[in-house]
Amino acid sequence: MSDGRKEHPLFGNAVEKANLEDLEDLEERSMTLLEGRRMSEAVASVSYQDDAAGRAARKSLAGVILGVAPSAERSMRDYTIERKTEPDANLGLRAGQRLSEYTARIAGHSSILTTAALLIENTLSDRHLSVGNMAWMPIVGESIFRFDASDVAWKNAAPCMSLVDPKLREDRVDASNFERKSPVFLPQFEMDGRQQVAVLLLPLNTTFYGTGEVGGSLERTGKRIYTWNTDAWGYNQSTTSLYQSHPWVFCVLATGESFGVLADTTLRCEIDLRKEATIRIAAAAPYPLITFGPYPNPEALIVAFAQATGTIQLPPKWALGYQQCRWSYETAEKVSKIAHTFRETNIPCDVVWMDIDYMDGFKCFTFDKEVFPDPNGLSNELHNIGFKGIWMLDPGIKVEEGYEAYDTGSAEDVWIQSANGKPYAGECWPGPVSFPDFTNEKTRKWWSKLVKKFVANGVDGIWNDMNEPAVFKTVSKTMPETNIHRGDEEVGGVQPHSYYHNVYGMFQAKATYEGMLLANKDKRPFVLTRAGFVGAQRFAATWTGDNLATWEHLGMSIPMALNLGLSGQPFSGPDIGGFAGDATPKLFVRWMGIGSMMPFARGHSEKGTIDQEPWSFGPEVENLCRFALNRRYRFLPHFYTLFYQAHLKGLPVMTPLFFADPSDLSLRKRDDAFLLGPILVSVSLTPKNRKENLEGVLPKGIWQRFHFGDDNPELPLLFLKGGAIVPTGPVIQHVGEAKLTDTITLLVALNTEGKAEGMLYEDDGDSFGFKHGKYLLTHYEAQQFKEDGDEVVVRVVHSEGQWTRPNRKLHVRLLLGSTTEVEGECKDGEELRIKLPSKVEINELVQSNRKINIAEREKSQNLLDVVFEEHDSIKGVGAVLLPIDLQAGNVTVKVVPWIGGRIISMIHKPSGYEWLEGRFESGCYEEYSGNEFRSAGCTEEYKVVKRDMQALDGQEFVSLEGDIGGGLILARDVLVAKNNPDIVSINSRIEARSVGAGSGGFSRLVRLRVHPLMKLVNPLDSVIKFTDINGDHHELRATMEFGEHTYEGTYRPNGEWRLDDTETGLAIINRFDLNQVALCLISWGPGSVTLELWSEERPVSKETPITITHEYEFIDTNV
């Protein structure tokens, strides 16, 4: 590898022969590269040569940069200005400022210039640059570079599991024909204990995306995440670890150019983007860093990333249709009824899903003979009416002799082992389960054979769930990190679970995919996986996990799918309507309108919630859902073409708005719209009705609005970019209804030059024949001519593939503005000429249609508002009611008055850390009025009795009361204030308001029990600390097992205790009045812990309430 870095076009072999007394030639040659980005080549070229000539070259380059003589021998200290009041006139440095600090300031943190300055400082002091030991080389293709902290780190790096071929990371490519031969941005490596830290400084106004499956906003600056696949049911915007791990950052520079960074490690990895234009990545050493670019635009970056990590397999076309799921349709009869109801209501749908209740005792590869007695018969029934069936397979196999999967797995020795070498058994749905070691090829073949047999029941697709892997009744929510995998040698061989944890789900998906191929080598498999890693897109689609039926989660679903697409996974989407909780009619129809335009469109909800099929909310919502899904099916030709491009090049199906104009900084954070190729989908993400400035959301350029006669204020607005042609088809009930002879309708929007182009991809939709040329790819163009009056000609300019063009009609809708259009029709393949109205006529039509559109939408909105009001609000997470936000100082708190007055979120803004675990109706922060868990006080509806928001004194306050019966109320005051920026203060009381005289004015026995459920992002790195009244110090560390600890009397904490996350350096301190607290309780749970405060137990009167006053302070020990 060292040899691969010796030569460089700037210095090359001449460096080795350089006369140290005369470096004028080197200096002159350095100057040629000190223009724009090419400075990086000059810096890179001299940063790694550890000999006298290399030092001389660095010295020469330093002299060029500073404008001083090459022979300058001043030390770095000479470039640190002495303390004085005036800046140095020559260098422009502030007093006491180092050159590198100054350079970073004036250059906007450009790592090129900063690295150059560091080069100067270290070279002129005759010392090596701190990156001097770093090893790098070009790999894969244009502008892709591998960096290691040193040659030793390179040799000791674990095998690659991110790239499509691990050898791509190990083989240096010949960069002689590349436009860029050296990296532009150089990482800096350092060690922090056992952690290798890599830092990249980028130019100011760089924005960050990617990082895979993450909650929160589209733009990731200010965020920190941890790549550790986690069963994150009920996650929120601040959850730092979800179901998948993508240690990848997608960067867009201020110029619109794009740059990417991949930390090629499967281990738990911290990605810290909290500082502007700075990427900090930390994981156990060693690991390589792979950079991509810069490239001229975002598309080029994602194509390069896909070149390295692989693209999706072209899915079967039916997988692009709408899909209906629930946990669970518990009988075959119910499944049949759901499918037939779709057909009877003429609502398009292609797939119905079977969750775990089809199994016999939740045992994979089995069927419950009572409720699913004939799976083959059910499959045949579904197929006969145009449905496919997808069935769940979890990784856990029940430990039960006589159960085929367990017996054969034991015979073939496929199980993950405990540290003692025996098969590990964890708890999951069936009870004790063993986990197949999918990192081993023998195991994958065993699983694939089981899948092949399973598919013979008429199974069309397979759903791999719980494969983080999730394990019940453990604090970490997964298996011990000390468990042993016996992986294939090429991926690392025998390693602890911590090494393979993040790729476990990907390897299961791979085994499942290969099993479906075994069942039918000529049929494209469909696999959905919950857990994944970089490269998992090669085997499976994904979804965004167990979301909530809330407006917040509706809003998150767009940036989550977008960032997955920017991380290499283009086939994703949310559970439409929300998985947990009850959606309201308005929320559901809004979600259906948006979800039907996303790559993966599936409705799904959990047990205990209301029915959430399209017809479940009344005829008005049913009709709007039909409109939404009809749109999706009209767009199937376009969707399928986008998926073909995703398979061929790696382009996302769904892209952020800034793809339309990467240099427009105003588009960088926009997640209220997205692109499907040249189609812009503009959405409304709050219960409030959309303002009727219909063109106000658009990027620069021509964007023509259109619809299909389905314009409605609850559905997204649709626009087509000028210069584009998009194919659409007729409304069908399922993909199988489509015929090659169906009319193709082209949507056409001309650009300023009067031109447009687009393409349509077609094949049989289910086989691999397209790999052998059995397809048709048609390139259409439109051009305006003005010879005999304005006329637009539409024609086929080019076709690819072996298929003959079908005998069908081609219908063209030429969009002119504000849903105004002219149409024409011909035989597909022939030239079509469309006569245009005059400019005056077009302007009159556009203005008239704009007024009509606004009036019609307002009328529709008024009718819908009445409909939505007629439906009672469903008490729960789907209610249109929104949480109360308290924000002051460094703290954001969300309070839900209508369910127990609970606090559902406490976020420390500087760290982005969410401290509460749970959801609207359970968990988080709640209070009880008795010894019993969830006794009165936690579910009642509270009323807000006082509320001060954005007060002049810098504090925000809310006071709540809930009636808990017997003349008692549970009251709670919550305060955040700027003068205590890291503290949340809570005053809680049980008060007697109307206790009868017959009781002497005293209530029943009550006890105030404060129950905060704290989130453990790093469970096994969490510790509770306190000093008790006796003066003894206590430290309680989380283990794999649940546990409960009670402290009374002098063993109580002496007024405070704290919870530390030693991995992140974050902590929360809970202080309380010792005279008000009789008992303290710690209870470890799955990814969580409670630190409860209990009052004494006694009756209360109006004069003797029970009170607990306490506060939470957020600490960041890194600051």
DSSP state string for 936-972: TTSSSPEEEEEEE-S-TTSEEEEEEEEEEETTEEEEE
Residues 6+ apart with CB under 8 A from 385: 339, 340, 343
In 3D space, the residue among 270, 307, 288 whose CA is nearest the CA of residue 159 turns out to be: 288
Q: Has 953 been annotated as catalytic? A: no
How far apart are the C-alpha atoms of 577 and 10, rounded to whole Å? Answer: 59
Catalytic residue among 219, 264, 514, 546: 546
Quick one: 488 exposed, middle or buried, by C-beta within 10 A (0-12, 13-18, 19+)?
Answer: middle
Enter the tokens of residue 501. Answer: 């944890």
Preceding omega of 286 cis (within 30 degrees of 0): yes
What is the token pair recorded at 124?
Answer: 């002129």
DSSP classification of residue 157 = P
Active site residue 885: no
Residues in Cβ contact with 303 at an 8 Å cutoff, skipping those fewer than 6 apart: 649, 650, 651
**Nearest CA to 392 among 327, 322, 470?**
327
What 8-state DSSP symbol labels residue 158?
P
Q: Is 661 a catalytic residue?
A: no
Structure tokens at 884: 């109360």
Can you tell me whether residue 840 is helix, strand or coil?
A: helix
DSSP 857-924: HHHHHHHHHHHHHHSPPPSSTTSS--PEEEEETTEEEEEETTTTTEEEEEEETTTTEE-B-EETTEES
Asked whether 681 and 659 are in contact (CB, 8 A), the reply is: no
Q: Cα–Cα distance between 427 and 520 in angstroms, integer?
A: 34
- Considering 394, 468, 672, 1060, which one is annotated as catalytic? 468
Distance CA 1056, CA 1074 (A): 9
The Cα–Cα gap between 310 and 316 comes to 18
Check if the beta carbon of residue 841 is closer than 8 Å to that of residue 803: no
Q: How far apart are CA 198 and CA 177, in angstroms?
A: 29
How far is CA 754 from each of CA 195, 335, 572, 619, 814, rounded to the nearest angstrom? 57, 51, 35, 44, 12
Give dist(CA 981, CA 1114) in Å, integer: 9
Nearest to 291 by CA among 385, 188, 190, 222: 188
867 to 144, 619, 715: CA distances (angstroms): 56, 10, 16
Q: Can you give the three-state secondary structure of 24-72, one letter per residue?
A: HHHHHHHHHHCCHHHHHHHHHHHCCCCCHHHHHHHHHHHHHHHCCCCCC
Task: Please list the alpha-helical segments (H only) found in 167-236.
Answer: 167-170
Question: Active-site residue among 465, 552, 956, 1092?
Answer: 465
Token pair recorded at residue 803: 């298929």
3-state secondary structure of 307: helix
d(CA 576, CA 599): 12
SS (H, E, C) 1068-1080: EEEEECHHHCCEE
- Just list the catalytic residues: 465, 468, 546
